[in-house]
């Protein structure tokens, strides 16, 4: 769940704008909190269904000893999952306070004026934190001990969602390893995502949806986290405002049980602390002492995992600091290089890519329409 000290601070910020309730007023839970409660019941039903399905599978094991062990494991897992349902309910309820939200009943794609992504950057300046300009490419180093390489490329394609032209942005995470005997570099897929972003006339970037392809041991396993505004009750959210407001929190996506990311702007000009590991090692992407926007990012459906993120205006994302149950883990995601085309992968040594040609071959197999040469 959210770190208690930090959660208290965020709730206090959110409540600053809430009018006092008179003694005669009858308390009515917000629709947001009612949603948290309803989803808690849904979660418990899912746990029950999973438990009985597991018991049915246990009953088909040949050995009595195996069946008994299977029953014990199923019961232990049921207890853990029920506890997790409670953690998620608490996180959703706390999120309601942070958001100062009753019900999320409007979709930003239906209530804003939008430009066409092709008008960026020639006719309209890109959002200072998230660019939808075709060709924009950047590389991140992520994972434990920097073992993952993330390539994000803004394509020249668009997808129309709820009548709005949303830019297609391809985001690929690969695990990088080296053969102990030959020294050859190998890349294995972790996640391949098509994100859809739209920019408003005011310069805000709206998250229209995504298709997330999740891999395990290089094999596609599921599409968890995918959503599209307008389908199955899903709604868009603001990915990044053009002019953030200190203390403000808002949803980036809304697909209950699938995609519930929330962002809060907690400092408009700062730098990561020593406890967080300090600035990005590359001076070009350093926050200095007070240059970066700092956000607190969390999702109630994964209550223990939260992040601080840093954005350098004009560059965009430069650093993420991971937390587990409110404690900094030491795991970081850092910007390595950025450019206006895929050429940056081979032209900029700061990208730190040992074999750019091999990486592009792997990217081509994962997203042919984006990374394969004509």
- Quote the pTM value: 0.90
- What's the rounded mean pLDDT across residues 262-273? 98
Instruction: Give residue limits of the domains in the chain.
Output: 4-16+28-99, 108-371
| pLDDT single digits (tens) 56-106 | 999 999 999 999 999 999 999 999 999 999 999 999 999 999 999 999 999
| pLDDT single digits (tens) 276-328 | 999 999 999 999 999 999 999 999 999 999 999 999 999 999 999 999 999 99
Q: Which residues contact 85 (CB under 8 A, 6 or more apart)?
A: 40, 43, 44, 47
| pLDDT single digits (tens) 183-195 | 788 899 999 999 9
Q: Give how far the C-alpha of residue 305 lies from the chain's centroid of Cα atoms, to the nearest Å.
A: 11
Query: CA torsion 344→349→350→353, rounded to 10°?
Result: 80
HEC string of 22-74 equals CCCCCCCCCHHHHHHHHHHHHHHHHHHHHHHHHHHHHCCCCCHHHHHHHHHHH
Element (H, E) at 308: strand 305-312
Closest CA to 254 of 49, 46, 110: 110
Closest CA to 166 of 192, 193, 198, 126: 198
Token code pair at residue 340: 């206006």
Reduced to 3 states (helix: H, G, I; strand: E, B; else coil), residue 215 is strand
Reduced to 3 states (helix: H, G, I; strand: E, B; else coil), residue 258 is coil
End-to-end CA distance of the chain: 48
* Banded pLDDT at 374 (limits 50, 70, 90): low
Rg (CA), the chain: 22
């Amino acid at each position: 769940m959210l770190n208690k000290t930090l959660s208290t601070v965020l709730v206090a910020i959110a409540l600053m704008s809430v009018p006092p309730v008179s003694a005669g007023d009858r308390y009515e839970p917000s629709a947001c909190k009612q949603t948290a409660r309803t989803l808690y019941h849904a979660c418990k039903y899912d746990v029950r269904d999973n438990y009985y399905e597991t018991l049915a599978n246990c009953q088909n094991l040949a050995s009595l000893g195996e069946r008994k062990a299977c029953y014990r494991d199923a019961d232990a897992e049921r207890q853990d999952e029920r506890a997790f349902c409670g953690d998620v309910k608490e996180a959703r309820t706390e999120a309601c306070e942070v958001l100062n939200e009753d019900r999320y009943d409007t979709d930003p794609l239906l209530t804003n004026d939008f430009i066409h992504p092709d008008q960026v950057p020639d006719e309209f300046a890109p959002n200072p934190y998230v660019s939808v300009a075709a060709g924009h490419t950047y590389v991140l180093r992520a994972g434990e001990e920097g073992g993952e390489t993330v390539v994000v490329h803004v394509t020249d394609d668009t997808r129309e969602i709820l009548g709005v032209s949303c830019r297609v942005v391809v985001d690929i995470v690969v695990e990088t390893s080296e053969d102990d005997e030959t020294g050859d570099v190998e890349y294995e897929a972790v996640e391949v995502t098509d994100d859809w972003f739209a920019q408003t006339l005011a310069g805000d970037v709206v998250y229209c949806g995504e298709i997330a392809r999740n891999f395990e041991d290089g094999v596609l396993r599921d599409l968890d986290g995918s959503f599209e505004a307008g389908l199955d009750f899903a709604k868009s959210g603001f990915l990044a405002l053009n002019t953030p407001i200190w203390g403000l929190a808002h949803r980036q996506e809304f697909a209950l049980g699938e995609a519930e990311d929330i962002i809060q702007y907690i400092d408009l000009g700062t730098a990561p602390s020593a406890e967080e590991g300090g600035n990005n090692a590359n001076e070009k992407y350093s926050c200095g002492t007070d240059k970066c926007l700092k956000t607190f990012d969390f999702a109630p459906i994964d209550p223990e995992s939260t992040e601080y993120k840093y954005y350098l205006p004009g560059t965009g994302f430069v650093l993420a600091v991971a937390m587990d149950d409110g404690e900094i883990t030491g795991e970081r995601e850092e910007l390595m290089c950025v450019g206006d085309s895929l050429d940056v992968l081979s032209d900029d040594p700061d990208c730190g890519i040992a074999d750019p040609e091999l990486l592009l071959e792997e990217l081509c197999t994962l997203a042919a329409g984006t990374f394969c040469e004509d």
